[in-house]
Each structure stands twice: as C-alpha cells, then as structure tokens.
Structure 1
Amino acid sequence: MSLVPVSLSRRAVVAAAFSPILAPGVHAQSGRPIRLVVPFAPGGSTDILARAIGPKLSVALGQTVLIENRAGAGGSLGATDVAKAEPDGLTLLMGHIGTLAVNPAIYPKLGYDPLKSFVPVAWVARVPNVLVVSASSPAKTFQEFVELARKQPGRLTYSSGGNGSAAHITFEYLKLRAKFFMVHVPYRGTAPSVTDVLGGQVDATFTGAPAVLPHIRSGRLRALAVSSAKRIPALPEVPTVAESGYAGFEADQWYGVVAPAGTPAALVTRLNAEINKALAQQDVAQQLATEGALPTPTTPQAFGELIAREIPRWAEVVKAGNVKAD
C-alpha cells in the first residue's frame, strides 16, 4: 500500500489512491474496494445485473468490487447512501427506473436528486415487463384481457412488488392508456406478487421478464403482451402492447450505474468503457439473456438523457394513478 504525503492536495490524494482505475493493469494502491450498492434485497434483477458486471470490473480495474445490498424505501435508502458518499470512484449505485425516475414523484422528502446528486456512468440493461395471467384465466389474448377488465371495473385485481414499484407504475400506465380500472394489490417483493397470480388469488401482474419467464415456459402463466417497443427474443410469439392497439406504448424497466456528483470525468469515462466491455462479453450476454435482459452499452451522456426524459414522464403516471409510497 503506497503512503501519500499529508501535504498533497485532496485532488492529488484521490488521483494517487485510484490510479488503478485510471491506468489499466496497475494493482490497487489504496487497498480499498469499490462498493457497488444495490438498493434492493439480493435476488432481484438489479442484484443479478450488478453481480454480472461486478467480477468483470474487478479484473479490468485490478480492484475488488463488492456488491452491497442496502434495501429500503423503494431503493431510496441505498441511493441516498451513495449520493452522500465521497466522489472518488469507490462508491457506485446500480440504479434503475424506480430509484432514478419514479421515486422523485412518490417520496416528497427524497434524500437525493437523481439529476443533481449523481453523475451517470453507464446504462447497463433494460428489462421488458411482461403482462401475465394464470393459465386458468379466461383471457387468452391481450385484447380479451382489456375487454374483460372494462366489463368488470374494479372487480379484477393486479399485483406488484410494492407501491411505487416498476410493476405498479407499468400497470398504472397500461390502465391509463387502455382506459380500464383494476384494483392494485401490493406485496413486499416481486416473488410473492407472482406467486399469488399463479395461485389465482390475483388476476394479473405486469412485471419484469426474469420473474415470470420460468412460469411462462412451464405453462403455469400465460403471457399476453410485453412492454417493449419490439418483441423480445425470449418470447418471440408474444406481441407488444404497442402493436396490440396502443401505439407508442413502451414501459421497460431499465438499469444503470451512477456515481456521486463530482466524481472526476476520467473515472467516469474509464468505468463506462469497462462496463460496456463487460456487457459485450459472451458469458455476461448469456446471463443477461437468461434473465430476459437486453444489454444497452452507450455513453454516460446518453444514459443521463434517458434519466432526464423519464422523470417527468413517470411523474404524470404517478399523479394520474394516485400512486403513493408504502
């Protein structure tokens, strides 16, 4: 471990401590790992994506990358923790549509500002949502599902992993566009919300592909539509909502890495390059495909533009659906 004279400026200390990020192949001098914070419990899509790219970053940077799960308040606790961290490249957030675009409309006293508290690093992936019903549902197609909901306003139910979750706002967006009403049943997590659709206690859910693909393949759930602009490779026979009569409908979950505001541009550039390289590696691509995730390598600027576009868009949906936090 290199010793840095106390007289060096803070900027010089940061540069010396984190030269492994700036210079490929140099071993870490600080001895401190990089924290990649996942603001949710282990096992979800955010966690899976972080653990897919984490080991690749460790090798590329010559520095240990630790995945740290810090769940709570719809991802806000973990995001706030990262927002308050030193902008030295050692603390990163695996953010997603909820933490970076939806939460500002739901939590009036959010501990961070998605646009001011962070600098975008890399857009990692998008995960299409899939509208599913149980195999015993009378709705065999998306159109039949919408008609059924319209004929029985308030009698049908849909589940999500919690108030303000991606599944919740996606379904609210569908209700808004298709003009029908169903009752929301929030759960503490995606898994139980899917389990009760399987069991018939809830009529439908519109959640990320990873949570429902195994049940669709086993025949226990019926996929009616996907939220992406185009059909997805994992479910090529399932139409999009857009092609089913609602042009322009798109409501994928998306995920990406951000760092605390003030993180040096050189670190951001290097991290972006290494994450994009990781996404191009065959084993990572295969892992993402298994999860129904589509890699989205691009620039930090493009990812920042996505976040800026999504915040007002989902604020309208939250307001129209009167979405509240737990």
Structure 2
Amino acid sequence: MTEFSLTRRSFIVAGLASCAFAGSAHAAYPDKPVRWIVGYPPGGATDAIARLIGRPMSTSLAQPIIVDNRPGAGSSVGASALAASPKDGYTVASADNGTLIINPVVYRKLQYDPDRDFRPVGLYAGINLLLCVRTDSGIRTGAEYLEKAGSATQPLLYASPGIGTPLHLAMERLARDAKVPLKHVAYKGMAPALNDLLAGVVDSIVIDYTTAGPAIKGGTIRPLAVFSEARLPVLPDVPTIAEQGLPGFAAGAWHGLIVPNGTSDEVVSRLSDGLATALTDPLVKTRYAELGLDMPASDPETFRRRWDEDKALWQPLIRSLDIKLHG
C-alpha cells in the first residue's frame, strides 16, 4: 500500500512538472527581456526617441526593453544584426528612411535586404524638416529663397548632415521640382553643418526641427519653410514649401519598429499593441510636442504603405543622382 501510494504520488508530481514544463515552453509572449537595436550612437535623436518610447512600451509588455546601440554605415550595421537574429520577437530594431529605402540603393555592399529580411511593426515618429538661413540673411521666406536661387550667378550653398540622408534628398527634390540650381555641402552630422551655417560658410541648411528648435528660439537661425504637408504647431507662422510655390510638395523622415521576417503574426500584433500604448503615454506626448515630432499611426499596415510609397518616390531620385557610398 505504501509502495503504491508513493508510486502514485510520484506519478502525479511528475505529471504536474511535465505540465508546468509544457506551459513554460509555450508561455505567452513575451516572457523575457526584449532587445531593441538602434543603428546610431547613444545620445543622438534616434537613440533618444527609442529610449523615450521604450520605457512605457516596456511597461505595456511587462518585460524590460534593453537598447543595444549598433552604429555604423547609416544604420546598416544594426539592420544587419537584426537580419541575423532569431525570428521570435525578442530582438527588434529602429528603422528609418535610410535603413529601408536609401541604403539598398546607395551602398554597394549591403548585408541585408529590407523586403526579404524585415517585417514592419509600426511607425512611431515623424521627423519634420526645415529650410533655414542665418537671421542676418536678407532672405526671409522660402519663396524668396527659390527666387534668389533661380536668378543667382552662382548656386546657393546648402548644408546637410550627409550625402544620401533624407535631408539631402529632400533638398535635391526641391531643386529638381523648383527647377533651380542648389549646391550641396555635405557634413558628418548636423552639428558641424549648423556651425558652418552660423559661420557664414554656407547660405542655408536643411535641418530637422528637433535639432533646429533651440537655435530658432535663440534667434540665431530663421526658418523659411517647413517640408511637411501642413504647418507645424510649434512654428505656426512658418509656411510649408507647398504654400510657397510648389503645390503638393512634401518631404520628411520617419522612425519605425521592425522585426525579422518570419516573426509570427501573434508576436507582431503584441509588439504593435505595445508600441501604440506607449505613444499614448503623457510624457511621450509632451516630449513629442516639445521636439516637434509627429505621432503617426503605429499599425503594421500603415507602416508598410508608407514604406512602399516612399520607396517608389525616393529610390528613382537616388538612382538619378547616382549616389554611391562605401560601408
């Protein structure tokens, strides 16, 4: 009797242990920390936005989100790391126009293919671009800028944070559509570009509001136009390019969250829901307003449409400019 009781008890315990093991093997996602790859250095805008979003998203997922900075080659290093990661939702990455649209055209050797390797989770930030000059410039509007560019004996110089960036391409498209000559001066980042504008080395700059805001408030640079479809709440008196002679013109940059292709629908849905919840966080909303960031719809379908539309718009322009980079 004792032997039977022990045997039966052992069987019951073993069965419970087996069920517990099976439950853990199929535990609801996520049941461990999520790694968020950022393809740019710590302290930059992309990193700061990811960390801002990561805090409330971590709360929504009930798991820590660990930011892993993998800078290099215009976010290609980080994107390549994501492409090689397991398709389980425990590694995600920031993606921007450069990652998904520009890099595949400008880099001669790329270790990933966006369409083959990645799946969209959701957009989480729209970056607004501005055309600016020094405050001592005689040019006061975007229309005046284009008029002067069209009549000048030498092309106006404009600075950008690098060849093949969304900012550079926005100005190339502006020059093309307005049929005016502009000369690009590329810098390694926005800080040196802004410094040379203030020093008088270049006539103008294409810059994101997040970077330009303090200089505009400090009175050292003047915004002539915004590249968005509508005026910015933080700059209500600055007209769009479309309002100043180029109807329908709009250009900008965005940030989105991606996972390796092959990640399940259930995991993508959970991540997308977590991202959407994070965007409703009061601190996130306040910081977005301060930084002049747009808050786009964060579902995978909206992201995919934007990705495809911008690919069709920008890749032909890049090819026409024959931009090639090594990295």
Alignment CA distance shift 1:61-1:262 (3 Å): same
Contact 1:46 1:96 in 2 (8 A): no
- Please list the CA deviations of residues 100-158 of structure 1 after superposition, one character each: whole Å capped at 9, or x if unmatched: 12212212322222222111001101111011111122211111111221223544211
Kept in 2: contact 1:121–1:300 (CA 8 A): yes
The equivalences for 1:136-147 within 5 A come to 136-147=136-147
Q: Distance in 2 between matches of 1:118 and 1:108?
A: 20
Q: Which moved more, 1:120-129 or 1:291-300?
A: 291-300
Count of residue pairs the alignment pairs up: 307
Secondary structure at 1:251's aligned position in 2?
coil
Q: Deviations over 1:162-203 (max 9, x none)?
A: 111121111111111111122211111112112211222111
* Aligned residue in 2 for 1:122: 122
Counterpart Cα distance in 2 of 1:287 and 1:71: 24
- Aligned residue for 2:48? 48
Q: Are 1:196 and 2:167 counterparts? A: no
Aligned match of 2:102: 102
- Determine if the alignment matches structure 1 residue 221 to structure 2 residue 221: yes
Distance 2:153 2:166 in 1: 23
The aligned residue for residue 133 of structure 1 is 133
Deviation at 1:20, TM superposition (A): 4.5
Q: Which amino acid aligns with 2:76?
A: S
Gaps of 5+ in 2: 1-16
Which residue of structure 2 lines up, in the alignment, with residue 35 of structure 1? 35
Which region of structure 1 is more displaced relative to structure 2, 78-87 or 35-44?
35-44
- The ranges of structure 1 where at least 4 consecutive aligned residues each deviate by more than 4 angstroms after the TM superposition are none
Q: C-alpha separation between the residues in 2 aligned to 1:171 and 1:260?
A: 32
- Whole-Å separation in 2 of the counterparts to 1:172 and 1:209: 19
Partner of 1:116: helix, strand, or coil? helix
Give the match for residue 254 of structure 1.
254
Superposition pairs for residues 129-208 of structure 1, below 5 Å?
129-152=129-152, 154-208=154-208
Sort the Cα spacing of 1:136 and 1:322 in 2 relative to 1 into closer, same or farther, 3 A. Answer: farther
Q: What does the per-residue CA deviation read over 1:21-52, in whole Å, with 9 as the maximum and x for residues that have no partner?
A: 3xxxxxx3x4xx31111111223332121011
Distance 1:210 1:74 in 2: 19
Q: Is contact 1:46–1:95 with CA below 8 Å preserved after alignment?
A: no
Letter matched to residue 111 of structure 1: Q
CA RMSD, Structure 1 to Structure 2 (Å): 2.0
Structure 2 length as normaliser, TM-score? 0.89
**Does residue 1:291 correspond to 2:291, yes or no?**
yes
Deviation (angstroms), 1:254: 0.9
> 68-77 vs 225-234, which deviates more?
68-77
The equivalent of 1:24 in structure 2 is none
Mapped to 1, the partners of 2:228 and 2:135 lie a distance apart of 23
Structure 1: gaps of 5 or more residues: 22-27
Q: Larger radius of gyration, structure 1 or 2? A: 2
**CA distance, structure 2, for counterparts of residue 256 and residue 244 of structure 1:** 30
How far, CA to CA, are the matches of 1:101 and 1:325 in structure 2? 14
Distance 1:48 1:286 in 2: 14
Cα distance in 1 for residues equivalent to 2:128 and 2:120: 22
